[in-house]
């Protein structure tokens, strides 16, 4: 579970997929997906074309929109989740991707679903020893959604700085 993915080198390197995963793919993973894309655009545009960023859920109801709380939390960051539609994680999606889950339990489940997949938690990818879960804000207050979005944003920043060796 402690997969340490790093990329670098020539712009012609193969496409690398980051797949952010949570439970329903309506709160945490869509926020992570849009925050990751924004981070790449701002801090590492030279890597943006080689990195495919997407999201899915372990128990997603396909085609569900992002939750209202996630939409509002993303908007506070100047981002949009308007076009997001939930997807259910499949073994095919996990193959060839670095699957980044919000909790250790989700990482364990993803490994059972897609044996041999590269799976880690967002906290471990960010380099936090001992990991730590990103709690689900579903049905929570605006404050909980905002705090969750801020936590994901910090972890995305740390993770990309490690992965891309960006200072």
How high is the mean pLDDT in each 10-residue block of the chain (167 residues)? 45 77 98 98 93 97 98 98 97 95 97 95 93 93 98 98 86
Instruction: Evaluate whether 65 touches 30 at the Cβ level (below 8 Å).
Output: no
Please tell me the predicted confidence (pLDDT) of residue 26. Answer: 98
Is the residue at 4 inside a domain?
no
Is the residue at 42 inside a domain?
yes
Verify whether residue 162 is a known catalytic residue. no
Instruction: Evaluate whether 87 touches 25 at the Cβ level (below 8 Å).
Output: yes
The DSSP letter of residue 113 is H
Is the residue at 5 inside a domain?
no
Verify whether residue 149 is a known catalytic residue. no
Please tell me the predicted confidence (pLDDT) of residue 129. Answer: 82
Query: Which residue among 37, 104, 133, 136 is the active-site one?
Result: 136
Please tell me the predicted confidence (pLDDT) of residue 111. Answer: 96
Instruction: Evaluate whether 156 touches 39 at the Cβ level (below 8 Å).
Output: yes
Verify whether residue 136 is a known catalytic residue. yes
Please tell me the predicted confidence (pLDDT) of residue 14. Answer: 58
Is the residue at 46 inside a domain?
yes
* Distance in angstroms (rounded) separating the CA atoms of residues 64 and 147: 23
Is the residue at 44 inside a domain?
yes
Is the residue at 23 inside a domain?
yes
Residue 128's domain comprises: 16-164
Please tell me the predicted confidence (pLDDT) of residue 15. Answer: 84
The CATH code of the domain that includes 159 is 3.40.50.2300
User: How remote is the C-alpha of 13 from its chain's centroid?
Assistant: 22
* Distance in angstroms (rounded) separating the CA atoms of residues 16 and 10: 13
Please tell me the predicted confidence (pLDDT) of residue 167. Answer: 67
Query: Which residue among 28, 87, 148, 149 is the active-site one?
Result: 28
How many domains does the chain contain in total?
Answer: 1
Please tell me the predicted confidence (pLDDT) of residue 3. Answer: 42
Is the residue at 7 inside a domain?
no
Please tell me the predicted confidence (pLDDT) of residue 130. Answer: 76
Is the residue at 89 inside a domain?
yes
Please tell me the predicted confidence (pLDDT) of residue 22. Answer: 98
- What angle in degrees, to the nearest 10, is found between the helix axes of 142-164 and 68-76? 60
* Distance in angstroms (rounded) separating the CA atoms of residues 36 and 91: 22
């Amino acid at each position: 579970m402690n997969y340490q993915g790093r990329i670098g080198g020539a712009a012609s390197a193969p496409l690398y997929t980051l797949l952010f995963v949570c439970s329903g793919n309506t709160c945490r993973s869509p926020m992570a997906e849009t925050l990751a894309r924004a981070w790449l655009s701002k801090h590492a545009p030279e890597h943006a074309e080689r990195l495919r960023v997407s999201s899915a859920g372990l128990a997603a109801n396909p085609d569900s929109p992002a939750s209202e709380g996630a939409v509002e939390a993303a908007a506070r960051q100047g981002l949009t989740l308007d076009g997001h539609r939930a997807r259910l994680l499949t073994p095919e999606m996990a193959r060839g991707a670095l699957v980044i889950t919000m909790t250790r339990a989700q990482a364990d489940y993803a490994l059972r679903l897609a044996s041999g997949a590269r799976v880690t938690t967002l906290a471990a990818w960010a380099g936090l020893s001992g990991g730590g879960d990103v709690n689900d804000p579903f049905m929570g207050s605006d404050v909980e959604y905002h705090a969750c979005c801020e936590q994901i944003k910090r972890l995305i920043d740390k993770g990309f700085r490690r992965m891309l060796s960006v200072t």
